[in-house]
Amino acid sequence: MNKTIEFSINKKNNGERLDVFLSKEIKNLTRSYIKKLIEKKNVILNKSIKTSPSTKIKTNDKIIINIIKEDNLKIIPNNIKLDIIFEDKDLLIINKPKGMVVHPGAGNHKNTLVNALIYKYKNKLSDVNGSTRPGIVHRIDKETSGLLVVAKNNLSHSNLGKQFSEHSIKRKYQCLAWGVIRPLNGRIETLISRNKKNRQLMTVSDVNGKKAITNYKTVKVFNIKNIPKISLIECELETGRTHQIRVHLKYKGTSLLGDKQYGKKNIKFKKINKDFFNNLSALNGQALHAETLEFTHPIKKKLMSFKSKLPIDFKKTLDLLNNLSG
């Protein structure tokens, strides 16, 4: 069922943004989710529907918000071709392209991986995570490409979930980052929590958050004339927090090529290799690919290992860097 909550604004909240106020008052919802609820006409301010998250509120204002639970969202089957690496009666391995959201949510009702799975498999997927996330055991970011395991039944789902929680599943990512990370090889262990200033982002925290561990090694450093130093880095996750690799790289003073959320804004070059600049401009999202996935089959109990090729835009950039470096 949907839930309706009413608020009366007091003096201390006078002048706040509507989305900021609601995200502070409703602890179990992210600010990005609240923004989408506002934009979808689910918030009434003084008997008037508001669709702008930045609307300023005043003392004595009355707010009514209708919270739509994700399980009430109707999943629309979409005929989208899936790149299936492996499949048996218990699970399937999918190579997710950049730009695809894993499951529906407010503002993303169509063309997600789940919409495609529902079209192809109907009700032949696990339902451990509810009706809006059938088969979904774990996720990767929208603009990250690579391997995902999907469960076809609840027994497989529960076993795979246990392997993730015990950190026994191996997940390796390839990425291209600005500069050189120091030390070249290492282990990053921090707490990660939601960014208080922008709840769509995550950040390293000293006092609260979830434990996050990333092991990394620098595969190659590209030091090419008229191109800033760039590193090819392999990251292996022990935990799987939201935006973990991107947050940890920022924590180490670098960021991924093409990362518009955690990367530097409006990078300016005094002098830049034209071919590289064109490749950089053509990057479709961040240069981050979930290349390797290794786990124990939940039913057959045998080791399963999968590897996927780099997406075209990532490979083109890497090939160019290799060619220019000789």
- Kindly report, residue by residue over 45-104, the tens digit of the pLDDT: 999 999 999 999 999 999 999 887 655 567 889 999 999 999 999 999 999 999 999 988
Q: Which residue has the tokens 């629309």?
A: 76
What's the pLDDT at 1?
47
State the span(s) of the chain assigned CATH 3.30.2350.10: 71-166, 167-326
Task: Report the distance separating Cα 144 and Cα 164, nearest Å.
Answer: 19
71-166: CATH homologous superfamily? Answer: Pseudouridine synthase (3.30.2350.10)
% pLDDT > 90, the chain: 74
State the span(s) of the chain assigned CATH 3.10.290.10: 3-68
Q: Which residue has the tokens 């069922």?
A: 1
Q: Is the pLDDT of residue 106 over 80?
A: no
Q: Which two tokens stand for residue 263?
A: 């990367």
- Residues annotated as catalytic are 141
**This model's pTM is above 0.85:** no
Q: Which residue has the tokens 């924590």?
A: 251
Mean pLDDT (whole number) for 126-136: 86
Domain 3-68, CATH class in plain words:
alpha beta
Confidence class for position 2, pLDDT limits 50, 70, 90: low
Q: Which residue has the tokens 């939201």?
A: 242
Q: What is the mean pLDDT of the chain?
A: 91
- Kindly report, residue by residue over 256-268, the tens digit of the pLDDT: 999 999 997 667 7
- Kindly report, residue by residue over 143-180, the tens digit of the pLDDT: 999 999 999 999 999 999 999 989 999 999 999 999 99
Domain 167-326, CATH class in plain words:
alpha beta
